[in-house]
Amino acid sequence: MSARPDPAVDAGVRRHLMGVAYRLLGSVSEAEDAVQEGLARWYALSAEGREAIGNRAAWLTTAVSRVCLDVLKSARVKRESYVGPWLPEPVPDAAVLGLSPDPLDAVAAEETLSMAVLVLLERLTAPQRVAFVLHDVFGFSFAEISEVMGRSAGACRELASQARRRVRTEGRARVTRGELARSVAAFKVAWETGDVAGLVEQLEATAVATVDGGGRVSAAREPIVGAEAIARFFAGVRERQPDLVVREMLVNGTPGLVALDAAGAVLATVSVEVAEHGIRALWVVRNPDKLGAWRDVAVSRVRGLCGGGFGVW
């Protein structure tokens, strides 16, 4: 690597690259590996070759996206052997993943970091996901995306269109951030008190809860369906671990819950999707391998991370 600081890969560019890679892969560790591989390809160029590249951030984004595309193509095979449901890795501070001001559309950027949308992106094909994220979130032209995909610009346009239609058809319910926060707060109160009826009241009758333990900790191996079953599951968790501490904070940039033990270690994150008649989906990440970004989040920082009404409510 160059001995001198390279303006092409300053902290802002690295955040941008992480923002792209995380949205494409749903895993912090895999995103970090993809960014490192992209940077290795950059530094493998001669100094003259790097100097000749006009838009260095775009070159690096293309390189990282190509790595991510390869990872996505093999990800489905790996996840077939995963124990229980696989969920994207939650993050405590979305800003470090290029949330703002880097992406072209800040609203789209925020939405594509939410657990609800990341789960939806998992249902797309690898080419659809890459085309959609690069075009709709980061403003890449289809000509530029064709360089990543090895397909024509027209084919990339169609891939992005297919993904966009699916996101709109299956996308999350449109509720205000305040409504989401109020639902999360009410669910927290009912969970803390073991109030089954109160939990049911916050849930849609056909709500679904998905728990990712990865075979590393105890977790439901199948999605939990129905308000009553979900309420009893959460109440049972509270009964089995009465010292559980539940905090309201941002998970992937949106209001959610974090469960900690008495010492302040994060045991799980809970992300929710709220519809007209209550919470319709919950995503619980318990796999400790996916909570690495939260291990340094002490209780005091949990309180401070989400100021302005998103700390300890």
pLDDT of residue 33: 95
**Rounded-to-integer distance, Cα 299 and Cα 246, Å:** 10
**Rounded-to-integer distance, Cα 246 and Cα 257, Å:** 7
- Residue 280: what are its φ and ψ, rounded to 5°? -110, -15
What end-to-end distance do the CA atoms of the chain give, in Å?
A: 47
pLDDT, tens only, 173-218: 678 889 999 999 999 999 999 999 999 999 999 999 999 998 888 8
Residue with more model confidence, 108 or 146: 146
pLDDT, tens only, 126-168: 999 999 999 998 889 999 999 999 999 999 999 999 999 988 8
pLDDT, tens only, 34-75: 999 999 999 999 989 988 998 888 999 999 999 999 999 887
Binned at pLDDT 50, 70 and 90, residue 100 comes out as: very low
> What is the mean pLDDT of the segment spanning 214-224?
88
Binned at pLDDT 50, 70 and 90, residue 109 comes out as: low
- Which value, in Å, is the radius of gyration of the alpha carbons in the chain? 20
- Name the burial class of residue 80, with classes exposed (0-12), middle (13-18) and buried (19+) by CB atoms within 10 angstroms of its CB: exposed
Residue with more model confidence, 5 or 70: 70
Q: Does position 2 have pLDDT exceeding 50, yes or no?
A: no
Give yes or no for a contact between 299 and 245, defined as CB atoms under 8 angstroms apart. yes
Q: Tokens in use for 237?
A: 């968790």
> What is the mean pLDDT of the segment spanning 108-122?
83
- Name the burial class of residue 264, with classes exposed (0-12), middle (13-18) and buried (19+) by CB atoms within 10 angstroms of its CB: middle
Amino acid at 154: G
Q: Does position 99 have pLDDT exceeding 60, yes or no?
A: no
